[in-house]
Amino acid sequence: MFNKTKEMTSTSTILSKNGKAPSKITSPKEVLAYARHLDLNIVDLKFTDLLGLWRHVSVPLETIDEGSFEEGIGYDGSSIIGFQGIEESDLILLPDATTAIKDPMLEVPTLSLICNVYDPVTRTPYSRDARRVAQAAERYLIQTGIADTSYWGPEAEFFVFDDVRYDNTPQAAYYFLDSDESVWNNGRNGSRPNLGHRARHKEHYFQQPPIDTMQDLRSRMTLLMRQAGVPVEMHHAEVAGSQQEIDLRFNTLTLMSDWQMMYKYIVKNVARSYGYTATFMPKPVFGDNGSGMHVHNSLWDKGEALFYDEEGYAMLSETALFYIGGLLKHSAALLAFCAPTSNSYRRLTPGYEAPVNLVYSQRNRSASIRIPRYSDTPKAKRIEYRCPDPTANPYLAFSAILMAGIDGIQNRIHPGEPADYDLYELEPAEAAKIKQVPGSLAEALVALEYDHDFLLKGGVFTPDLIETWIRLKREREVDPIRLRPHPYEFYLYYDA
């Protein structure tokens, strides 16, 4: 049996070492001095692939110098999904000195650096590098004159399971999940005692121990995130059994995307060190709430909150309303990046607190855009876009949201009247009048094909990136799922 006590001890040892880089590290010289000061022997270079997963390569510290930050480190781009063809495979990684930290998860002392991807021939940012997209989106916002800063606060939920098994072969397909914390184990009778204390269906939110068995796990994740320079505001149990949430303090677009990648890295690895498995899959459990990534967002200019107006609806400014209008207009296309998997649309169904209705409202969680009212101070005024989920590549998703909002402001797209009522309780005839999110990834990809000009402004997204994204999603996800028999079809049709 897995020795969780032993694993907790090793994680505690990691925590006792202060690996957070000084906040003012900005140059390669300072990075190398920091690494030598902490006796970091390995340098781990991280970059994000197009689909939103970290890739990495590690080198001994003595093999890099200040020039490495300008010359880059070469690798085979044809081996990364969505990047180069084999006939033009060479790409280079340029480390970003400002991202230097001691890796919070590795036993061997390791310097972690997030990199941008460059073309080695033109020495220009690689068009399919998602981090480049985020940086370009921030520059474009300034160029428009609308604002100089956008702030982002995603709330990425995840599940923690004790066991996961799955397989797909020509003649078989199955998955199996288990969590001792989940209500389906109330009647379990096995080799270990059943101690009960499980929340009823949909009653896991904010539960305390012993019902919440993951308190120490989330706290360990939180402390490691803070050690890595990622500020955490809170953590808690979510609605579904074994579902968790850790919320980060807001920050700017590219930095928050970097933090989101570190967040997922730490969550998965800490869970594994405790003998659990963590997943950001939106809908792993049938009939229960899925995992979303509600994205809080605001615009500022010269230190002024642009979304605040004391006289406006929910104290929103006209700028904020137009921004909302842009999100609602382009949501079908946005979801190709913000809810980018076939499983995303198992979550985006009515009845599970899912934001399927393309309307806005203050406080109302059945709307796709909510205006939180926890505080009505100007600095707290923001919108919450509730459609995204944590399978999204954060660099692409946040950039796409920003570009849709900018388009709304530039074209003065008003979102119409707010929906301050329970959308799930409407009569069918009234409910039919409300526009909803796409019903599948295939629909979202079609929407993106026909509605992406707003993403191309300022060279933020490129036609090449969008075309590659659509092709990859269809070839790797839409078609393979469409062509395979589903296990439930045997239940429905085998006796036909």
Claim to verify: residue 123 and residue 215 sit in the same structural domain: no
pLDDT at 9 over 60: no
pLDDT at 20 over 70: no
Claim to verify: residue 392 and residue 294 sit in the same structural domain: yes
| Joined tokens for residue 213 | 């068995």
pLDDT at 6 over 50: no
Looking at residue 193, its pLDDT comes to 86
How would residue 367 be classed by pLDDT, with cut points 50, 70 and 90?
confident
- Domain membership of residue 281 (yes or no) is yes
Closest CA to 98 of 22, 38, 18: 22
- Of 96, 129, 245, 309, catalytic: 245
- Domain membership of residue 327 (yes or no) is yes
pLDDT at 17 over 60: no
Determine whether 477 is an active site residue.
Answer: no
Q: What is the pLDDT of residues 378-421, one digit of tens each?
A: 999 999 999 999 999 999 999 999 999 999 999 999 999 998 87
Looking at residue 422, its pLDDT comes to 75
Q: What is the mean pLDDT of residues 429-449?
A: 92
pLDDT: which is higher, 358 or 20? 358
How would residue 351 be classed by pLDDT, with cut points 50, 70 and 90?
low
Determine whether 294 is an active site residue.
Answer: yes
- Domain membership of residue 7 (yes or no) is no
Among 15-24, 30-39, 208-217, 314-323, where is mean pLDDT lowest?
15-24
- Of 129, 238, 389, 407, catalytic: 238
- Of 226, 235, 365, 474, catalytic: 365
Claim to verify: residue 279 and residue 394 sit in the same structural domain: yes
- Of 103, 138, 155, 407, catalytic: 155
Claim to verify: residue 32 and residue 175 sit in the same structural domain: no
Claim to verify: residue 106 and residue 176 sit in the same structural domain: no
pLDDT at 13 over 60: no
Determine whether 138 is an active site residue.
Answer: no
Looking at residue 385, its pLDDT comes to 97
Range 427-432, long-range pairs (CB < 8 A, 24+ positions): none
Claim to verify: residue 176 and residue 92 sit in the same structural domain: no
Claim to verify: residue 110 and residue 202 sit in the same structural domain: no
- Domain membership of residue 287 (yes or no) is yes
- Domain membership of residue 10 (yes or no) is no
- Domain membership of residue 341 (yes or no) is yes
Q: What is the mean pLDDT of residues 347-354?
A: 77
Claim to verify: residue 27 and residue 174 sit in the same structural domain: no
Determine whether 386 is an active site residue.
Answer: yes
How would residue 43 be classed by pLDDT, with cut points 50, 70 and 90?
very high
Q: What is the mean pLDDT of residues 95-105?
A: 96
Q: What is the pLDDT of residues 177-192, one digit of tens each?
A: 999 998 888 888 877 8
Claim to verify: residue 153 and residue 116 sit in the same structural domain: no
Determine whether 346 is an active site residue.
Answer: no
- Of 76, 233, 453, 479, catalytic: 76
**∠ Cα 335 445 278 (to 5°):** 50
pLDDT at 368 over 60: yes
CATH code for the domain in which residue 436 is found: 3.30.590.10
Among 1-5, 28-32, 294-298, 357-361, where is mean pLDDT lowest?
1-5
The proportion of the chain whose per-residue pLDDT surpasses 70, expressed as a percent, equals 94
What spatial distance separates the first Cα and last Cα of the chain, rounded to whole Å? 45
- Domain membership of residue 12 (yes or no) is no
pLDDT at 10 over 50: no
Q: What is the pLDDT of residues 468-493, one digit of tens each?
A: 999 999 999 999 999 999 999 999 99
Q: What is the mean pLDDT of residues 290-315?
A: 96
Claim to verify: residue 459 and residue 325 sit in the same structural domain: yes
pLDDT: which is higher, 213 or 12? 213
- Of 198, 220, 294, 370, catalytic: 294
Claim to verify: residue 102 and residue 153 sit in the same structural domain: no
pLDDT at 364 over 90: no
CATH code for the domain in which residue 98 is found: 3.10.20.70
- Domain membership of residue 141 (yes or no) is no
Closest CA to 357 of 445, 418, 281: 418
pLDDT at 88 over 80: no
Looking at residue 12, its pLDDT comes to 31
pLDDT at 71 over 70: yes
Domain range for 121 is: 21-127
pLDDT at 19 over 60: no
Determine whether 198 is an active site residue.
Answer: no
pLDDT at 89 over 90: no
Determine whether 30 is an active site residue.
Answer: no
Looking at residue 196, its pLDDT comes to 82
Domains: count for the chain: 2
Q: What is the pLDDT of residues 218-258, one digit of tens each?
A: 999 999 999 999 999 999 999 989 999 999 999 999 999 99
- Of 309, 386, 407, 477, catalytic: 386
Looking at residue 352, its pLDDT comes to 64
pLDDT at 15 over 50: no
Q: What value does the mean pLDDT of the chain take? A: 91
The residues, ordered by sequence, that sit 6+ positions from 490 with a Cβ below 8 Å of its Cβ are none
Claim to verify: residue 179 and residue 32 sit in the same structural domain: no
Q: What is the mean pLDDT of residues 446-473?
A: 98
Residue 75 β-bridge partners: 91
Determine whether 384 is an active site residue.
Answer: yes
Looking at residue 291, its pLDDT comes to 95
Determine whether 288 is an active site residue.
Answer: no
- Of 96, 129, 212, 384, catalytic: 384
- Of 103, 157, 181, 389, catalytic: 157
